[in-house]
Structure 1
Amino acid sequence: MSQFKKIGLVGRLGSEAAYYSLQRLILFLQKQGVEIFLDEETAASAPVTKLPRLERDALADQCDLVIVVGGDGSLLSTARSMCRTGVPLLGINRGRLGFLTDILPEEIERKVGAVLEGRYISESRFLLDCHVYRGGQLMSSGTALNDVVLHPGEYIRMIEFELYIDKEFVYRQRSDGLIISTPTGSTAYALSVGGPIMHPGLDAIVVVPLNPHTLSSRPIVVHGDAEIRVVVGDQRDIRPHVTCDGQTHQVTTVDDEIVVRKKPEKLCLIHPEDHDFYEICRNKLGWASHSGNGY
C-alpha cells in the first residue's frame, strides 16, 4: 500500500503538452486507487472536469503528496505557496531545463509508480524570506526558492547600494544589481552571471553581483543562517525593483532596506530513486560524459 493516499495535481497553465501528461498521470493514478485532487487554477484552464477541485492552500493542507506537471517555474510557484505545510512535491518535466522537475513524460507510469511504492529519494530545500522596509515600516514581503534579485527594472542603468551581512558592512557597489540565491537557485539566474554551482544539500547562500562596475567584485558564499541587508542608494531618475523568483516584486526608493533571511519552513522535494544531481548537471549544462576510466 502506498503511503500517499491523497494526491494533489498542479499543471502548467496554457500548455497543451502539460495537459496531455496530466491526463496520462490521472489515468495512471486512478488505477492505483488513490484519491486525486486537482488544483483549482489548473482545473479552470485544463480540459479536466470530473476530479474534485481545491484551492492551492487547501491542496497543501489535505494531500499527502503534490505532483507538479510543468517546468521548474511551475514547481517554484507551487513550492512558495505550499512549503508552510511540509507536503512533499514531485515534478514531471514539461518545461525546458528541468533541474527540479526531473521525471520525463514517458517515465510517468514507471517512476511515479516507484514513488507510490516507497522507492524514492526525499530531500529538504530551504527558501528565502525577503522584506522591504521604508523608514522602518514594512512595505512588502516575499518568498523565494531560487533567488531574490535587486535590479534596475525597466531601465538598463547601473544602480548603487550598500551590502551588509550579519550587520557587518561589506561594500558599497555600483552595478546592474544583486542576486541573493539559495543552492537551488545557483543553477538558475545566478549561474548565468558567473555565480558558483552549489550542491542543493549545502546550508549556504550566495550573493552574486550583476555586472559590477569594479571587476574585483566577486560572488560571496555565506552561511545559510546569515542575515543579508541591502540599502538602496540615491538613483536619481530610476527606482530599482526587488523580485522573488522573478514573480513578486517591489519598487524601491532611496534608503529602502531589503532584508533577506532563510525561511523557517522548508520544502520537501521528492525525486526518483535514481536521481543524481551531477548527472542532471551533465545533461542540462553539457558537461563531458564519463570516460570509463574512473570509479
Structure 2
Amino acid sequence: MIVGLVPNSHRNATRRVANEVALIMESQGLRVIRDWKEGAEVPDLLVVFGGDGTILGTARRCGHLGIPLLTINLGRVGFLAELEAHELSQYLPRIIAGDYHLEKRMMLKVTVRREGGPIFQSEALNEAAILRQGVARMIRLQILIDRKPLIRYAADGIICATPTGSTAYSLSAGGPVLMPETQLMVITPVCPFAPALKPLVMEGNHNLTIIPENEKAVLTVDGQDTVTLSPGDDVEIERSPYHISLVRLKEQSILEVLGRKLQL
C-alpha cells in the first residue's frame, strides 16, 4: 500500500505530525510519500494534515485522480476533517489495516466564458461564489438554469454550493444544510435587494449560468481560486464528472458534526 502525506506547507506543526505518522506507517511496511505533490506517483491513500483550506485545495487538485482522502484537523474549526490530531494514535491501526469506508462527495465544475471562449476553469468541493468587487454598488445578476432564464436580481453576490459546501459560506448567508451524500446544489443569494428572495435547491444534473450585468465582480472557488469578472461574462456551473472519496472511521451524522463544530 502506498500512502501520500499532504501537510500544510505553511505550518511546521503539521509537518512534524506528518513525519511522526510516516515513521509509524513505514515501520508497518507501508510505502510513504512524504509531502506528496500532484504529478508524483499516485498513492492508494492521501492523508491531509491541516485545516479546511488545506483539505479543499488538495481535493481540487486530486479530484480527477480518484484518490481517497483521510483528513486530519490541525487547523481551527476543521469542518471537513475526519480526525483531530489527538485521535490519530487511536485510529492509526485501522487506517493501516484499511478498516474504513469511503463517503463520496459531489464536486462542481466551474467555467468562465468571455466573448464565447473559456478564460477560467476550476473544480469546487464547497462552492463557487460571485461577489461584488470592493465597495462597488450591488451587482445585477442574470440567472439561467439549463440556459433558460430564471430571474434577474440585484445583490452583493450569489453562492452556488455543493452538499459539502452547504455548511460553509452558504450556511452563513442563510442557506439550508444539505445531506452530504445527496447530488444537489443550493443557490444562495448574498444580501439581495429583494429580501423575499430565498435560496433555491436543485438537482445536480441541471446546469447553472450566472451573468453579472452592470459591474465588475469577483468569482471565488472554495475561497481560494479567484478571477475578476466583467459585465457579460458567463459563469457556468455544473456537476463535475469527478468526486471526492473521504475516508470515514466514525459513525456520525452531519447534524452531530454541526452541533460539535459550531457548539450548538
TM-score normalised over the length of structure 1:
0.86
Residue 271 of structure 1 pairs with residue 253 of structure 2: no
Aligned counterparts of 2:256 and 2:101: Cα–Cα separation in 1: 15
**Alignment correspondent of 2:130:** 150
- 1:194 corresponds in structure 2 to 174
After superposing on structure 2, the runs of 4+ consecutive aligned residues of structure 1 that deviate more than 4 Å are none
Higher-strand-fraction structure: 2
2:30 maps to amino acid: V
Compared CA separation, residues 137 and 104, structure 1 to 2 (3 A): same
Q: 2-side partners of 1:70 and 1:177: how far apart? A: 29
1:23 aligns with 2:5: no
Q: CA deviation at 1:156?
A: 5.1
Secondary structure at the counterpart of residue 74 of structure 1: helix
Match of residue 55 from structure 1: 37
Q: Which runs of 5+ in 1 are unaligned?
A: 40-53, 288-295
Matched, 1:259 2:236: yes
- Aligned identity (percent) is 31
Which residue identity is paired with 2:15? Y
- After TM superposition, the structure 1 = structure 2 runs for residues 58-207 of structure 1, keeping only pairs within 5 Å, are 58-59=40-41, 62-155=42-135, 157-207=137-187
**Aligned mates of 1:65, 1:139 — CA distance in 2:** 33
> Looking at CA atoms only, which structure, 1 or 2, has the larger radius of gyration?
1
| Counterpart in the other structure of 2:200 | 220
Partner of 1:248: 225
Q: Is the 8 A contact 2:122 2:221 kept in 1?
A: yes
- CA distance in 1 between counterparts of 2:133 and 2:55 reads 25
The reply on whether 1:6 has 2:2 as its aligned counterpart is yes
Partner Cα separation in structure 2 for residue 13 and residue 136 of structure 1: 38
In the TM superposition, what whole-angstrom CA distance separates every residue of 1:57-81 from its partner, at most 9, and x where no partner exists? 324xx20000000011111111111
Q: Could you tell me how far apart the structure 2 residues matched to 1:105 and 1:154 are?
A: 38
CA contact (8 A) 2:22 2:34 kept: no
The CA RMSD over aligned residues, in Å, is 1.4
- The one-letter code matched in structure 2 to 1:250 is V
Tell me, in whole angstroms, the C-alpha distance in 2 between the residues paired with 1:195 and 1:204: 13
Higher mean alpha-carbon deviation, 222-231 vs 100-109, is at 100-109
How many aligned positions are there? 264
Once the two structures are overlaid, the 10-residue window that deviates more, 276-285 or 170-179, is 276-285
Conservation of the 8 A alpha-carbon contact between 1:121 and 1:273:
no
Q: Which runs of 5+ in 2 are unaligned?
A: none
Q: Which one of 30, 33, 40 corresponds to residue 29 of structure 2?
A: 33
Mapped partners of 1:85, 1:143: distance in 2: 13
Residue by residue over 1:154-186, the C-alpha shift from the partner in whole angstroms, topping out at 9 and shown as x without a partner, is 335311110011222221110000000000001
Do 2:112 and 2:118's aligned partners in 1 also have CA atoms closer than 8 Å? yes
SS of the counterpart of 2:98?
A: coil
